[in-house]
Homo-oligomer: A and B are copies of this chain.
Amino acid sequence: MDLEERAREILPQGVYDYVAGGAGDELTLQENVAAWQRIRLLPRVLRDVSAVDLGTTALGTDLGSPIGVAPTAFHRMLHPDGEVASAAGVAAAGALHVVSTRSTTPVEQVAEALGDNPWWYQVYVLRDRGLTEELVRRAVTAGAKALVLTADTPRLGLRLRDVRNDFTLPPNLGSPESLDRPGNLADQDPAVTFDDIGWLASTFGLPVVVKGVLRGDDAKSSIAAGAAAIWVSNHGGRQLDGAVATADALPAVVDSVGDSAEVYVDGGVRRGIDVLRGIALGAGLVFVGRPVSWALAVGGSELVATTLQTLRDELELALALAGCPKVGDVTSDLVAR
């Protein structure tokens, strides 16, 4: 919270609002945070928590913790070193990173900054399928371990702050990805369907995560179409205002999916106890977005690392205080009905 305040002070109003804002009246934006806070925990006591192990796996990759960094756009808007700085910070903290299609830095440079740290690539399917394929191919070549198909953005949400601010991207950001060939990165295809999951999976041979799912039936359809994981998300409250908070949507999706795929969640995650709550509700990974953006804006790579490390420390403490020495000990009975 302090971090957001500091970011607000140093960023241009339009940039701050672009990141902070949500769609419409920002009902979902607020609900995302409030829904986590409403969840009451029933910690266990008198368990041996002298060693707490945050390790987990996702899509077959061993991870140091269940905390991931959600894809966000245009990092050079927030910091001159852009995605290189954020990636380096995430890698320093050892968190799973998801690189955005809307990176303002070529994916190869981001991958270099990430080093050995595992990372995934977020995909917008564009009207220009050739350009889409080229972008994804470069990410795969650069080392992405999974593809995250954003499913909730057939059109851009109604961001009233941006309308009021008459917001446009700062000059000289562009999108280096698109330099190789003509095409419009912002021109997403509104005709993307479940079939594109199979296309992505078979074309690139990587597991596909479908991000933006809020319903059990959509989760099932995604899995039937080849998805390896479902990411419960409402795009940080930036797409359909009034959409259910992700913490409220998560349990039904988990129920629908059962053991057929992994389930992740993002949206309104601010503290380690929110990560604990997400895991207790059945998420395998819990992603944060805005806190990383504020850290990037205020303190670059180093503060990104510190922020993620703090979140990790909070989670470790939360597990100890909940009587859970391992991530797998966090079960649904930790949540009060």
Digitize A21-54: 1 where CB-to-B-CB distance is under 8 Å, 0 elsewhere. Answer: 0001101000100000101111111111110000
Which residues does chain B contribute within 8 Å of A45, judged by CB atoms? 151-152, 210, 212-214, 218
Which residues does chain B contribute within 8 Å of A245, judged by CB atoms? 40
Q: Report the bound CA distance from A24 to B176 in whole Å.
A: 41
Asked if A320 CB lies within 8 Å of chain B CBs, one says yes
A-B contact pairs, 17 of them (CB 8 A): A27-B37, A40-B245, A40-B248, A41-B244, A42-B244, A43-B234, A45-B151, A46-B151, A46-B196, A48-B193, A154-B321, A154-B323, A157-B317, A158-B314, A240-B273, A241-B271, A248-B336
- Known A37-B242, A155-B321, A241-B273: A42·B336 in contact at CB below 8 Å: no
- Known A42-B249, A242-B39, A245-B40: A49·B214 in contact at CB below 8 Å: no
Are B155 and A317 neighbours in the complex by a CB distance under 8 Å? yes
Q: Which residues from chain A sit less than 8 Å from chain B, CB to CB?
A: 24-25, 27, 31, 37, 39-50, 151-152, 154-155, 157-158, 189-194, 196-197, 210, 212-215, 218, 221-222, 234, 239-245, 248-249, 271, 273, 276-277, 314, 317-318, 320-323, 336
Are B46 and A194 neighbours in the complex by a CB distance under 8 Å? yes
Are A336 and B244 neighbours in the complex by a CB distance under 8 Å? yes
Stoichiometry (number of copies)? 4
Are B49 and A191 neighbours in the complex by a CB distance under 8 Å? yes
Are A243 and B46 neighbours in the complex by a CB distance under 8 Å? no
Instruction: Contacts A42-B249, A155-B320, A242-B277 known; list 19 others, CB within 8 Å.
Output: A25-B271, A27-B37, A40-B245, A41-B242, A41-B243, A42-B214, A43-B152, A43-B234, A46-B192, A46-B194, A46-B210, A48-B190, A48-B191, A48-B192, A49-B155, A154-B321, A155-B317, A241-B273, A249-B336
Q: Report the bound CA distance from A322 to B192 in whole Å.
A: 14
Are B249 and A47 neighbours in the complex by a CB distance under 8 Å? no
Q: Report the bound CA distance from A322 to B215 in whole Å.
A: 11
Are A242 and B155 neighbours in the complex by a CB distance under 8 Å? no
Which residues does chain B contribute within 8 Å of A44, judged by CB atoms? 215, 218
Which residues does chain B contribute within 8 Å of A192, judged by CB atoms? 46, 48
A275 → B minimal CB distance (Å): 11
Q: Report the bound CA distance from A116 to B64 in whole Å.
A: 56
Contact partner of A243 (CB less than 8 A), chosen from B43, B151, B155, B244, is: B43
Closest 9 CB pairs of A and B: A45-B151, A240-B321, A40-B244, A50-B191, A50-B190, A48-B191, A242-B273, A244-B336, A41-B242
